[in-house]
Each structure stands twice: as structure tokens, then as C-alpha cells.
Structure 1
Amino acid sequence: MNTQQILKDSEDRMEKALDVFRNDLRGLRTGRASPQMLDAIRVDNYGTMSPIRDVASVTCPDASSIVIKPYVAESLKEIEKAIRASDMGLAPNNDGKVIRLSIPAMSGDQRKKIVAQIKKSGEAAKVSCRNIRRDGNKHFDDAEKAKTMTEDDRDKGKAKMQDLLKAYEGKIDALSASKEKEVLEQ
């Protein structure tokens, strides 16, 4: 692998780590209703665990409620059971056709816990990016040992890899700060 290939592979992998972090942030409860809050919940759909979006329509008629309308009426009880089993602390209100979820306002303690969760998730994303950098640096070392790259090229590649890592850590920090601000302001 040459320098460009190693950097491209590492950048693609860091972008995937950033996408995972973005998806983690979407699923966090911020006091405002959002269909993405339910993305992590899986429902037993004829023996297969499926996301709620695959078995029902999820909408937010206002900022403090979510309405779930199953495509098949029989899955109503399974959706309700999955929501109750989740650690989101939501109480589903089943009227026989749809499930309504009221999103209560968050207390100061809940906000602090969510901010701590954001920081923990952000740090995990950074660690993932650092592991990708380590793998990329190993590729540079291996290429230099195999005499397909000079020492200077290896060192320049490692410097570019470090710059790439700093850029992605900055993106992760910016996403974290934005989400923390959103959680604390409401």
C-alpha cells in the first residue's frame, strides 16, 4: 500500500466511526420528542428482532409526544413490550390502534447524566479513531520494512495520519459540544 491508499483507508474508517457517534447522539433523549429516540429499540417481528421503524410509522405531532402506528395491528403488543423493556423510562399509552409516548421534561440530574453519556460516547469515538491511526502507522512501518517506502515517506505519512486524527477528533468534539448545549438549554 502506498501513502495515499493508507490515508484513504484510514479516513474512510474514521468517517464510519464518526457516523456511529452521530447515530449514538441521535438516539439520546434531549427532552424534545424525536423519532430517532426509538432507533435503538428492537421489536420481535415474527421471530426476528427488527427496529421499530420497520414495523410501524413513528411520528412526532408535537415537541413532547411520539405516536407509533404499527403497519400490522398484531405487532402493537410487541412494540409496547419492547418500549417498556427499554431503559428509556417511557410509559407507552396503547389505545388499541396506536401507541402514544409522552416525553416528560428532564430534570437537572437527568441532563447531567446525558451530558456524561455524551462525553463517554465521544471519548469512545476518539479511541476508535486513535486505533485506526495506530493501524495506519503500522501499515507505514510495514511498508518501510518491506522497502516499498522510504523512511522519509513513512515519517511524512505518519505526520499526515496525525493531522487526519486531529481533524476527526475536532469533528467529534464539535458534535459533542453541540449536543451538550442542546441538552442543557432546554
Structure 2
Amino acid sequence: MTKDVIANMKNHMDKSIESLRKEYQKVRTGRASTGLLDEVKVEYYGNPSPLNQVATLSVPEPRTIIIQPWEAKLIPVIEKAIMNANLGFTPANDGKTIRISIPPLTEERRKEIVKMLKKLAEDAKIALRNIRRDAIDELKKLEKDKQISEDELKRGEKDVQDVTNSFVAKVDDVLAHKEKEVMEV
């Protein structure tokens, strides 16, 4: 019984860590990444479509993203979508491809980004603590319903705390990695 609760909790915590990683992918680090354009939607045959479904995205150089639309008529539509996404990029095209140059970040902007990263990490830790609380409540309910003993409850609570501590450490690792990436000039 307690193993099921802990397995369920680990599953939820894994999703929280994955969500944090996805949020961090969207953060601009001064280095080019196709993840920066994940939220850009392009009007394609009347439907808003993700940019990566109407063009090939590549990063040939550390500060350049190249977008090769599958249809040449999409170039102005893609440029407009990038401008409307308000990412701070100015796309340039040569008739076949769109080039985005990523400007270097200032020291002040890097520090602002690190603050934001720390806030996202703290939000992830809060989510982990909420998942821990739910798991402990579930264990207490099992004990109340006489499905597990008091000793099993105490062992389960200790296991839940150990798992939570390991996931909090993972959040710190993800934060440290991204912070290093942002502060790198």
C-alpha cells in the first residue's frame, strides 16, 4: 500500500521537474536555442500551428537560429508571428530562409534572469511539498482505515520525506545548471 502511494508521488514529482525543465527551455540565455520559439504559432491554412510544424528550425552557430519554411509563402507570416510573440528578436530573410540573431545579454539582464530562474525553482519546490503533503495525507487515511499499521505509517512518512529531499536536490541541480548557462558570457 505505501509503495503505491510513494510510486504515485514519484510520478507526480517527476512531472514537476519536467515542467521546470520546459519552463527553463523558454528562458533566453544569450545562446541560440530552437526552444525559444516553442510558443510561436503561425497561421497556416487558417489554423494556428506551432512554428516547428511548418518549418525546419536549426542552430548553426551559438547566436543564430535558422528557420527554413516548407513553403516560401510562409516567410512573411512567420516573421510577423515572431514579431508578435514579443521575444525581442528581429527576423531577417533572404527569400528562402529566416535568420534570427540572438543579441548578447547585459550583466544586469543576466542577473534579472537568474532571479526569475530562482523564483521558478522555488515554485517547483512548493509543488513538490504539496505533493509530499498529499502523499502523507493519503498514508494517514490508509492508517485510519486500518489498511496499514502505525509503524508502516511512520516508515512511509520517512520514505516520503526521503524521496521529497531527493527531488528538491534535483530542482537545485537543474537551477544550478541553468544559472551557470545564463551567467556564461
Give the TM-score band, short-chain normalised: over 0.9
2: distance between equivalents of 1:43 and 1:126? Answer: 34
2: distance between equivalents of 1:63 and 1:174? Answer: 24
Instruction: Structure 1 unaligned segments of length 5 or more: list them.
Output: none
Match of 2:77 in 1: 78
Cα offset for 1:40? Answer: 2.5
Aligned partner of residue 15 in structure 2, secondary structure: helix
Alpha-carbon spacing, 1:49–1:153, altered in 2? closer, same or farther (3 Å): farther
- RMSD, aligned α-carbons: 1.4
1: distance between equivalents of 2:112 and 2:126? Answer: 21
Cα offset for 1:184? Answer: 0.9
2: distance between equivalents of 1:113 and 1:126? Answer: 20
Q: Percent identity?
A: 39
Which residue identity does 1:82 align to in structure 2? A
1: distance between equivalents of 2:137 and 2:178? Answer: 34
1: distance between equivalents of 2:147 and 2:163? Answer: 23
1: distance between equivalents of 2:149 and 2:28? Answer: 50
2: distance between equivalents of 1:153 and 1:54? Answer: 51
Cα offset for 1:92? Answer: 0.9
Match of 1:128 in 2: 127
Matched, 1:61 2:60: yes
Matched, 1:171 2:170: yes
Instruction: Structure 2 unaligned segments of length 5 or more: list them.
Output: none
1: distance between equivalents of 2:44 and 2:157? Answer: 48
Q: How does 1:14-33 map to 2 (within 5 A)?
A: 14-33=13-32
Moved more, 157-166 or 75-84: 75-84
The number of equivalent residue pairs is 185
Aligned partner of residue 119 in structure 1, secondary structure: helix
Cα offset for 1:30? Answer: 1.0
Q: Give the alignment's TM-score, normalised by structure 2.
A: 0.93
Aligned partner of residue 39 in structure 2, secondary structure: coil
Match of 2:35 in 1: 36
Moved more, 97-106 or 45-54: 45-54
Cα offset for 1:48? Answer: 3.3
Aligned partner of residue 141 in structure 2, secondary structure: helix
Moved more, 117-126 or 67-76: 67-76
Aligned partner of residue 104 in structure 1, secondary structure: coil
Cα offset for 1:45? Answer: 2.8
Match of 2:45 in 1: 46
Q: How does 1:133-144 map to 2 (within 5 A)?
A: 133-144=132-143
Alpha-carbon spacing, 1:46–1:157, altered in 2? closer, same or farther (3 Å): farther
